[in-house]
């Protein structure tokens, strides 16, 4: 039914439907399943997300010890009331971190679009829930909207850190979340696309450099930044601000940047933060690796 964002928006606007509805109809057509079956499956994903957020907010620690407890720290900070940025943004940050801390602790999460970027969509959804008071149906539709944009990225660029860097993972997740926030807040299909474009173009070039090859540092905090980016981009789009570069062109630019990115910066843990002295020290500590002369020289 649609291959890119322009076609997705055109379908929604020409049929006077939400993007989430277009995505549901496409799933019905492709999978030959009923609307109820598709909706029920997505509702189960929402439950997984909700349980991951709740578990993370209680406090978890990864087996490596690299990550854990930051979601709790942020909630405590919010409770004090002395924060500098908005409460909803910080709540989204906390819940995005909570989800990825659960992932790092080998818990159950829903990849959106990947495990390493799984915190952004649920983090923002459960944060704006307190502001917009959506129904369960609207929350499930939030996931279909984000899925529609993720579908386009996956089929026209990449959602893999190994293929395109973290811009393809957290960048895509943030764009997906921004678009879904806009629809949930009553925005138009065009505004959803603008939010996606604004978000993704401001995360272009983000490398994938996991310390010790684990999806923890800097992945967890990148989900925090992705969530905050999504929230701001959604507000910008809802305010009527547009991206001078069309959404599909931003996605294409992301793909081309990923193709040009050196392998050391695409999930190999050979460059970026993974190659810093501290990054190498943590790797050696976790895996019991003796430092090489090269490592010592740094």
What tens-digit pLDDT sequence spans the chain (298 residues)? 899 999 999 999 999 999 999 999 999 999 999 999 999 999 999 999 999 999 999 999 999 999 999 999 999 999 999 999 999 999 999 999 999 999 999 999 999 999 999 999 999 999 999 999 999 999 999 999 999 999 999 999 999 999 999 999 999 999 999 999 999 999 999 999 999 999 999 999 999 999 999 999 999 999 999 999 999 999 999 999 999 999 999 999 999 999 999 999 999 999 999 999 999 999 999 999 875 544 444 4
Q: CA end-to-end span of the chain, whole Å?
A: 54
Sorted by where each begins, the domain ranges of the chain are: 5-287
Q: What is the pLDDT of residue 1?
A: 87
CA pair distance 94, 98, nearest whole angstrom: 6
Q: Which residue has the tokens 């696309």?
A: 193
Q: Which residue has the tokens 């076609």?
A: 7
Class at the top of the CATH hierarchy for domain 5-287: mainly alpha
CA pair distance 179, 195, nearest whole angstrom: 5
Taking a C-beta distance cutoff of 8 angstroms, is the pair 156, 251 a contact?
yes
Q: What is the pLDDT of residue 170?
A: 98
Q: What is the pLDDT of residue 289?
A: 82
CA pair distance 239, 184, nearest whole angstrom: 15
Q: What is the pLDDT of residue 122?
A: 98
Taking a C-beta distance cutoff of 8 angstroms, is the pair 230, 177 a contact?
yes
């Amino acid at each position: 039914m649609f291959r890119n964002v322009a076609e997705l928006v055109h379908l929604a606007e020409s049929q006077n439907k939400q993007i989430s509805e277009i995505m549901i109809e496409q799933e019905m057509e492709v999978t030959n399943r009923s609307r109820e079956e598709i909706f029920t499956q997505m509702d189960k994903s929402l439950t997984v997300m909700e349980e991951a957020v709740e578990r993370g907010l209680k406090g978890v620690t990864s087996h490596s010890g690299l990550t854990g407890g930051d979601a709790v720290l942020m909630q405590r900070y919010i409770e004090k009331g002395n924060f500098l940025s908005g409460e909803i943004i910080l709540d989204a940050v906390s819940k995005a971190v909570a989800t990825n801390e659960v992932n790092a602790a080998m818990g159950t999460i829903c990849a959106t679009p990947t495990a390493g970027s799984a915190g952004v969509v649920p983090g923002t959804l459960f944060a704006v829930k307190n502001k917009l008071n959506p129904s369960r149906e609207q929350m499930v539709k939030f996931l279909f909207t984000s899925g529609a944009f993720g579908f386009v990225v996956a089929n026209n660029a990449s959602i893999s850190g190994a293929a395109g860097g973290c811009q393809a993972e957290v960048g895509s997740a943030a764009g997906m979340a921004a678009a879904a926030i806009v629809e949930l807040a009553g925005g138009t299909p065009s505004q959803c696309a603008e939010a996606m474009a604004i978000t993704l173009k401001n995360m272009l070039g983000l490398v994938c450099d996991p310390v010790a090859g684990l999806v923890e540092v800097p992945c967890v905090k990148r989900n925090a930044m992705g969530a905050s980016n999504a929230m701001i981009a959604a507000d910008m789009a809802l305010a009527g601000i547009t991206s001078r570069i069309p959404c599909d062109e931003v996605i294409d630019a992301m793909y081309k940047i990923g193709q040009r990115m050196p392998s050391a910066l695409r999930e190999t843990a050979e460059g970026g933060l993974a190659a810093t002295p501290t990054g190498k020290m943590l790797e050696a500590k976790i895996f019991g690796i003796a430092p090489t002369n090269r490592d010592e020289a740094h």
